[in-house]
Amino acid sequence: MELKKLVQNIRDIEIIGTSDLNIKKISNNSNEVKPGDLFIAIKGEKFDGHNYIKNVIKKGVQCIVCEVIPETKTKNITFIKTKSSKETYSRICCNFFDNPSSKLNLVGTTGTNGKTTCSTLLYQMFSLNNIKSALISTNEIIINSKSYKTNLTTPDSYDLNYFLNEMVKTQVKFCFMEVSSHSIDQRRISGLKFSLGVFTNISHDHLNYHKTFKNYLNVKKEFFDCLGKESRSLINIDDKNSNYIIQNTKSKVYKMSLKTDADYKLKILENSFNGLVIKIDDKEINTQLIGRFNAYNLLTVFSTAKIFNLDFDEILIKMSMLKNPNGRFDVIIENGIIGIIDYAHSPDALLNVLETIIEIKHKENSIITVVGCGGGRDKEKRLKMGRIASKYSNTVIFTSDNPRDEEPESIIDDMICGVDIEDQSKVINIVDRKEAIIKASKIAKQDDILLLAGKGHEDYQIIKSKKIKFNDKEVLTKTLKIAV
């Protein structure tokens, strides 16, 4: 693509050198660039792309986007100076793929909890209504029933626009996408056109990155601040921060609630291990999803479907067919023991899952929780998760999650610091996650509930710098089958 076209409508840039260049590819990785590519120098948490400008020039790169131009300039090199390399990178990627987000209905869901479930259920709902749809989520990217693995909740700007363009090529009408706080802050979604932005909720998470809850909240708010007049917003007004989130949005706002009057609402009639029975506009629907938190997810699906004018009766019929994504309140029953695998890795998510179990279990049945916290992440969260797990469980086993470069024993010690004195006798510490699951299975009796929290769909553990194959569901299923 011509450089002139690549940078059109991008503000706050200065081109130093010729703009009469053809660009083959865009890259922010100095190891991958080739002659004819455009290199974006981005300052990240660990590496600064500006330090690699000389290297990419030696590789034959003639055009570089950067925030600081090198003191020693090189002949025949075009520099594009910008205030934000991240922002410019994202917008260049949009232009490179001819702005694919403007050629379909892009629905972005953000919040602390529910992003994956809502996006996946929406993908199911619209697909079941014979509307060609795609999904970009933590679990996977789906285009035309083909699944692609992903390492990020919201992909890199280049990958994101590449996949959106693939959708456009195959006449996809709707894409349902998770929007993480990291992707907003790192400008990965800049330049994308969203037809609808969805806010699920917000609570303590990712403070190792955002430092304070206020920063985290403001990043989420920024997503809605950037929506234009032609966009729409769907907001869970039962969250106490909902009014702040939409304070400055130009989008048309729709509200949903389980507790108060709103544009869209539903009522829970029954909540059991067989699923939720809900009522919408005097119509009863039996669903396969369990728990009050899933009632919010179902309400999001219903509200979005109505906003896009899907047939009311068809929406209700298809709601009964929706299934949880992998690793989200997965229920398996073996030898009379109820096993639950859930991705809950924030205090609020863990509380939601445990409160749901307490609400629907028999009084005489115990809850045994196996839980850990990730290394290299927010330490304050560990205390809260330790307190919640021990308070709402009969027995809790603290174990490893993804310890990364931290010692797992140290992470467990942080979790123990959050346990109230009266709950300390409930706690068992087993560093090895597999051994922790085996121990929990041996403790469990008929009709007890065994919750594995934090890993969900993940099929690995990150220990030091290695990814080791590990899947909670596989281990638990095998263990419960031989449990006595």
Q: Do residues 63 and 159 share a domain?
A: no
In sequence order, the β-bridge partners of residue 2 are 22
Span 60-113, pLDDT tens digits = 999 999 999 998 778 899 999 999 999 999 999 999 999 999 999 999 999 999
CATH assignment of the domain containing 26: 3.40.1390.10
CB 61 within 8 A of CB 33: yes
- pLDDT-above-90 percentage for the chain: 92
From the list 100, 64, 55, 103, the residue with the least C-alpha distance to 85 is: 64
Residue in this structure with the two tokens 């938190």, named with its chain if needed: 293
Alpha helices in 61-114 (DSSP H): 85-96
**How many residues are present in the chain?**
484
| Rounded distance between C-alpha atoms, residue 385 and residue 239, angstroms | 20
Task: Give pLDDT, residue 370.
Answer: 98
Domain closes at, from 68, 95, 122: 95
CATH assignment of the domain containing 213: 3.40.1190.10
**pLDDT reading at 235 higher than 80:** yes
Q: Do residues 262 and 140 share a domain?
A: yes
Write out the residue range of the structural domain in which residue 472 sits.
Answer: 330-481
Tell me the average pLDDT across 260-282: 96
Q: What is the pTM of this model?
A: 0.92
Span 371-393, pLDDT tens digits = 999 998 888 899 999 999 999 99
Task: Give pLDDT, residue 206.
Answer: 64
In a domain, 324, yes or no: no
Q: Do residues 170 and 308 share a domain?
A: yes
Q: Do residues 177 and 288 share a domain?
A: yes
In a domain, 349, yes or no: yes
In a domain, 359, yes or no: yes
Residues 6 or more apart whose Cβ sits within 8 Å of residue 340:
329, 330, 331, 332, 353, 357, 449, 450, 451, 452
**pLDDT reading at 484 higher than 50:** no
Q: Do residues 88 and 105 share a domain?
A: no
Q: Do residues 185 and 306 share a domain?
A: yes
Task: Give pLDDT, residue 46.
Answer: 84
Q: Do residues 210 and 338 share a domain?
A: no
Q: Do residues 65 and 124 share a domain?
A: no
Domain closes at, from 76, 95, 114: 95
CATH assignment of the domain containing 437: 3.90.190.20
Task: Give pLDDT, residue 153.
Answer: 86
Tell me the two tokens of residue 65.
Answer: 């986007």
Tell me the average pLDDT across 439-444: 96
In a domain, 334, yes or no: yes
Task: Give pLDDT, residue 203.
Answer: 87
In a domain, 325, yes or no: no
Task: Give pLDDT, residue 483.
Answer: 59
Task: Give pLDDT, residue 75.
Answer: 85
Task: Give pLDDT, residue 246.
Answer: 97
DSSP H or E stretch at residue 434:
helix 433-443
Span 118-166, pLDDT tens digits = 999 999 999 999 999 999 999 999 999 899 988 888 999 999 999 999 9
In a domain, 339, yes or no: yes
Q: Do residues 309 and 337 share a domain?
A: no
Domain closes at, from 40, 75, 95: 95
| Rounded distance between C-alpha atoms, residue 183 and residue 190, angstroms | 9
Average pLDDT of the chain is 95
**pLDDT reading at 426 higher than 70:** yes
Q: Do residues 407 and 460 share a domain?
A: yes
Q: Do residues 283 and 406 share a domain?
A: no
- pLDDT-above-70 percentage for the chain: 99
> What's the structural domain count of the chain?
3
Q: Do residues 125 and 170 share a domain?
A: yes
In a domain, 420, yes or no: yes
Comparing 69-83, 330-344, 428-442, which segment has the lowest mean pLDDT?
A: 69-83
Tell me the two tokens of residue 223.
Answer: 């997503």
Tell me the average pLDDT across 424-428: 98
Span 272-309, pLDDT tens digits = 999 999 999 999 999 999 999 999 999 999 999 999 99
In a domain, 376, yes or no: yes
Tell me the two tokens of residue 440.
Answer: 């929990």
